[in-house]
Chains A and B, each alone.
Chain A
Amino acid sequence: MTISNASPVTLSTLSAALHNRELSSVELTTDYLNRIERHSDLNAFITVDPDSALKQAEEADRSIATGNPGPMTGIPIAHKDIFCTQGMATTCGSKMLEKYISPYDATVVERLKQAGAVTLGKTNMDEFAMGSSNENSFFGAVSNPWDKNRVPGGSSGGSAAAVAAGISPAATGTDTGGSIRQPASFCGLTGLKPTYGRVSRWGMIAFASSLDQAGPITRTAEDAAIMLGIMAGFDQRDSTSVERAVPDYRAALDDSLDGLTIGLPREYFDQGLDSEVGDAVERALHQLQSQGVRTVEIELPNSMLGIPCYYVIAPAEASSNLARFDGVRYGYRADNYQDLNELYCRSRTEGFGPEVRRRIMIGTYALSAGYYDAYYLKAQKLRRLIANDFEQAFAHCDLIVGPTAPTTAFRIGAKTHDPVSMYLNDIYTNAANLAGLPALSIPCGLDSQNLPIGLQLVGNYFDESRLLNVAHRFQIESDHHLQQPTKV
């Protein structure tokens, strides 16, 4: 068996082919390594490690031969370069960590390894996950496989571009304000941000610790269910990890949608929404209605204040988290300095890119004496109002549906000079992070320029099963997720 490009390759088909010995993991891994090389112009990867990948593949083949394979044994995947990988560079898209080799594996990496997955390499990303276009990477922008002059979204842009281009079957991502869902939307993929605390953050380089969550970027909801089942679960090394059993996410995929109620937030269908995106979302809602769901209009009156709230809380947490990069224990150290203060300042100024410095400055200001109440405390109070809105909405519906992003993928360079307009990309996504709710994006059509449009589903706490169930049933009766870029 060879891997064809005619239809998207899913984890479930690869798993079956490996188990039935139609192909070996070494063959499969070699094929993907070649694809990565052929598509190096996308700049989706920061590090590729063929030797290590092939060694893991050989091990996987042995474990398949002895009849003891795990759920992902032999399947190659890619990790966002925010996850620490022992013995392989972990840069977080930054000059600060350009030469950093982690002494340990992140829990997410460890769990996927234990499940037999083969690591192809590390994907490009906005520096320290700060961005919505992947243009803030020290290692350069990433091209969207649907149109190479456009961004893949961010911050998990490399992961999304890699899966969309078919150079990795699936990838990990992280989502602080939309960084899994918005790239999934821009690249025509399924991207899931789990409930805060569902997936361990240990070994995931911190941006805004009360918002960060890891999740899968895949072709299908079924693949997302497979990966989440492996990634999720309690980890005592993450103090915010939740002690709660992980359900079998695949078991509920085929449940009927009859009688489910979907809430439509009035605020998400307002004038800021691109009309083609709005039309595609409407069509998706009609399909879901024909599959048995009922829709009700709901209100999330404070959620449009999510962006201002987020751009206080995330930079404040980032300014504190990124204080650890001091040029002393690891990471970049400047060449010229006279004293300790200069060592700190020069190493940080030269090691961080402009957007990271900007956010550290904003966060430092928001936390500084005299301004704490007006910014940080105000944002935390507003955060509770945003979470309360969802709580009230979920009294009337089982899940909330709307667009993932206000537009489809924009051109590289189009928004780089206006931070605030870049921030507005996350207008529909970041409320779920502020409230800690699970949310996913699935493709729901293409616009007139042949660019993918994303549909966002937001669930109640720990209701990932329901999100995946609705997404899977939607995908069974539609072909949006099967569309692929023609030019790659």
Chain B
Amino acid sequence: MSLTPEDILKIAHLARLEVPEEESSDYARELSAILDFVEQMNEADTRDILPLSHPQDATLRMREDKINESDQREYYQSLAPETEGGHYLVPKVIE
């Protein structure tokens, strides 16, 4: 599998990462090498095999719908880069 510099820019956008144009061909080469490597997976015949998403095939536990956390908004927001009046601040999204 060989990725083009254009593919790289598309993946970077999906991942919310910046790849400068001049680095996109280096990235393409590196990631293509990794994809070539993982394509060894095709040596295994996986027809009719169920995917395993979790060791031991465990299913998630249910719990009672009870309040078990107290409100720690101020404490948690003290970790944020920018807050105001209990809100997280980001650049304006809607004009």
Give the B-binding residues of A (Cβ under 8 A): 100-101, 103, 196-197, 210, 236, 239-240, 242, 302, 305, 307-309, 311-312, 319, 323, 326-331, 333, 337-346, 348-349, 352, 357-358, 360-362, 364-365, 368, 375, 377-385, 387, 419-420, 423, 434-437, 461
Contact = CB atoms under 8 A, between A and B. Distances in A.
Contact of B39 (A308, A329, A435): A308
Contact of B15 (A346, A364, A434): A364
Contact of A327 (B14, B50, B79, B81): B81
B33 to A, nearest CB: 6
A338 B56 CA distance: 47
Contacts of A352: 17
A329 B80 contact: yes
Interface in B68-95: 72, 75-76, 79-82, 88, 90-93
Nearest to A210: B54
Given A339-B91, A349-B18, A381 B56 contact: no
B52 A329 contact: no
A305 B41 contact: yes
A381 B16 contact: no
Contacts of B72: 103
Nearest to A376: B51
A311 B31 CA distance: 12
Contacts of A327: 81
A345 B61 CA distance: 35
Contact of B11 (A331, A364, A379): A364
Contacts of A346: 18
A383 B51 contact: yes
Contacts, number: 153
- Interface secondary structure of A, over-half rule: helix
Interface of B: 3, 7-8, 11-12, 14-18, 27, 30-31, 33-35, 37-44, 46, 49-56, 58, 60-61, 63, 72, 75-76, 79-82, 88, 90-93
Nearest to B76: A103
A278 to B, nearest CB: 23
Contact of B52 (A305, A343, A380): A380
A74 B35 CA distance: 49
Given A305-B43, A345-B17, A210 B53 contact: yes
A239 B62 CA distance: 9
Given A210-B53, A240-B54, A383-B52, A349 B38 contact: no
A337 to B, nearest CB: 7
B17 A361 contact: yes
Contact of B46 (A323, A345, A382): A382
Contact of B80 (A197, A330, A377): A330
Nearest to B49: A381
Nearest to A102: B79
Contacts of A381: 44, 46, 49-52
B90 A328 contact: yes
A307 B37 CA distance: 9
Nearest to B7: A365
A302 B88 CA distance: 48
Contacts of A385: 44, 46, 49
Given A365-B11, A377-B51, A101 B91 contact: no
A384 B52 CA distance: 5
A341 B80 CA distance: 18
B75 A361 contact: no
From B16, B39, B91, name the one whose CB has the most chain A CB atoms within 10 angstroms: B16
Contact of B56 (A312, A319, A378, A461): A461
Given A197-B55, A361-B27, 19 more contacts: A239-B60, A240-B54, A311-B37, A312-B38, A328-B90, A330-B79, A345-B17, A349-B17, A361-B11, A361-B31, A362-B35, A365-B35, A382-B44, A383-B51, A383-B52, A384-B49, A384-B50, A420-B34, A423-B37
Contacts of B53: 210, 380
B82 to A, nearest CB: 7
Contacts of B34: 311, 358, 362, 419-420
B55 to A, nearest CB: 2
Nearest to A339: B91
B4 to A, nearest CB: 12
